[in-house]
């Protein structure tokens, strides 16, 4: 079965783990994206504040791991469970763009 699983979320890097490598040698970094916005729902404004666990691999992991806390970033990716038996969701980075205060100005 196939289906759509794409999410775009912007915010600041609120927590950033150290860059690590899997047993297969793949670079990986986990981080927390803090999001704060106002959204329209049923004709009314709704304040939305949330934190989302994210993970990036390889080149993306190296660049995000070098970003300072508080960096503004917009992420596009897919949601997947944290582990095989977990119900906790993690946003896997497919593309990203640093906004104001970008470390290198690159878009992926």
Number of domains the chain is built from? 1
Task: List strand residue ranges (DSSP E) for 1-108, in order.
Answer: 7-16, 20-21, 27-41, 44-57, 72-81, 89-98
Residue 1 within a domain:
no
pLDDT grade for 2, boundaries at 50, 70 and 90: confident
**What is the domain extent for residue 38?**
7-98
| pLDDT mean across residues, the chain | 92
- Compute the average pLDDT of residues 55-64: 98
Residue 59 lies in a domain: yes
The structure tokens 């899997």 sit at 22
Specify if 23 maps to a domain. yes
3-state SS assignment for residue 72 = strand
* Domain-embedded: residue 104: no
**CA 38 from centre of chain:** 19
Section 45-52 average pLDDT:
97
Report whether pLDDT(78) > 70.
yes
How confident is residue 27, by pLDDT bands cut at 50, 70 and 90? very high
Judge whether residue 18 has pLDDT over 60.
Answer: yes
Give yes or no for residue 102 having a pLDDT over 60: no
Which CATH number do you get for residue 18? 2.40.50.140
């Amino acid at each position: 079965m196939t289906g759509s699983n794409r999410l775009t979320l912007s915010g600041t890097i609120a927590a950033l783990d150290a860059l690590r490598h899997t047993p297969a040698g793949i670079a990986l970094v986990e981080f927390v994206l803090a999001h704060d916005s106002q959204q329209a729902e049923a004709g009314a404004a709704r304040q939305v504040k949330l934190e989302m666990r994210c993970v990036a691999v390889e080149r993306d992991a190296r660049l995000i791991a070098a970003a300072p806390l508080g960096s503004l970033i917009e992420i596009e990716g897919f949601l997947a469970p944290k582990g095989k038996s977990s119900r906790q969701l993690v946003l896997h980075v497919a593309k990203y763009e640093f906004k104001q205060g970008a470390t290198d100005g690159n878009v992926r």
